[in-house]
């Protein structure tokens, strides 16, 4: 049986096909995938459909606003932003996709694990704060084209953590800047998912977002994350290291900064 969410997604596909940009050709591909998944994997179709429904909502809202203003050039730019918002990043072993409702409980369990978050906060992250962050960056991915991606491991796990691209939220010598990051449940450590996902996020930042530099930062004591930064090709200069103005504890105040510039590709 075709679910309501998949039916709604099909309507979104029809809407986007009629829009005035290259979104039409991209959506034909998504529509074909959705039809195939309805037959072979209804659960996957629902997850993808939920994301498309949200995308369609933002596309319709943006297009209505721009049409009222008569700015046809901005209509095209707005629709292209929606094209980015449905971007799913695929690697040999992973699918990086928008967070869906089914991800929330495993995400919150991950955020509540003090071993997972010990380089972020000296105490477990409150449930309300973690949920608010997930909601914010889920919406940002749909509207701005970057935020939180859920890590889905092909054939093994539907949720194995998050890969993120986000604005650095404080003022420092290296800001404004966009940072890449990752957070994975303990059961998925040591499999290379952060490295593979982080490298894919860098590719996305340079090829889709067209930015010149991405940074990564962490507590100086967080050696595992620094090794991931090194493996994905980021470089470290100790002169960039800094004291985090919003550190949640003395042990987290001193931070290292890694960089990757487009010219290194």
Answer whether residue 222 shows pLDDT above 70. Answer: yes
> Given 56, 86, 116, which residue is the final one in a domain?
86
Q: Which range marks the domain in which residue 245 is found?
A: 89-265
133's tokens: 């962050």
CA 257 – CA 239 distance, rounded (Å): 9
89-90 and 162-167 as β-strands: parallel, antiparallel, unpaired? Answer: unpaired
> Given 51, 69, 86, which residue is the final one in a domain?
86
- Domain shared by 152 and 38, yes or no: no
**Per-residue pLDDT averaged across 119-126, rounded?**
85
pLDDT value at residue 249: 85
Q: How many domains does the chain have?
A: 2
SS3 256: strand
- Domain shared by 80 and 104, yes or no: no
SS3 80: helix
- Domain shared by 210 and 122, yes or no: yes
pLDDT value at residue 142: 84
pLDDT in tens, 132-164: 999 998 888 888 889 999 999 999 999 999 999
pTM for this predicted structure: 0.68
């Amino acid at each position: 049986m075709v679910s309501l969410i998949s039916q709604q997604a099909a309507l979104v596909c029809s809407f986007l096909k009629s829009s005035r940009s290259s979104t039409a050709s991209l959506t034909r591909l998504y529509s074909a995938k959705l039809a195939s998944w309805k037959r072979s994997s209804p659960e996957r179709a629902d997850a993808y459909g939920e994301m498309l429904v949200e995308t369609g909502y933002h596309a319709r809202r943006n297009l209505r606003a721009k049409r009222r203003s008569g700015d046809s050039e901005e209509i095209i730019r707005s629709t292209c932003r929606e094209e980015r918002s449905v971007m799913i990043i695929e690697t040999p072993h992973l699918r990086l996709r928008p967070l869906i409702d089914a991800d929330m409980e495993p995400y919150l369990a991950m955020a509540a694990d003090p071993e997972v978050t010990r380089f972020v906060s000296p105490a477990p992250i409150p449930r309300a704060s973690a949920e608010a962050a997930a909601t914010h960056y889920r919406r940002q991915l749909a509207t701005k084209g970057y935020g939180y991606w859920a890590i889905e491991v092909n054939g093994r796990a539907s949720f194995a953590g998050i890969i993120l691209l986000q604005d650095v939220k404080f003022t420092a010598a290296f800001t404004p800047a966009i940072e890449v990051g990752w957070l994975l449940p303990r059961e998925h450590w040591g499999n290379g998912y952060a490295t593979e996902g982080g490298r894919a996020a860098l590719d996305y930042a340079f090829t889709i977002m067209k930015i010149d530099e991405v940074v990564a930062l962490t507590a100086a004591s967080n050696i595992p994350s620094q090794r991931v930064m090194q493996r994905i090709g980021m470089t470290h200069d100790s002169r960039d290291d800094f004291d985090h103005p919003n550190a949640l504890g003395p042990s987290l105040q001193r931070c290292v900064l890694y960089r990757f510039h487009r010219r290194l590709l």
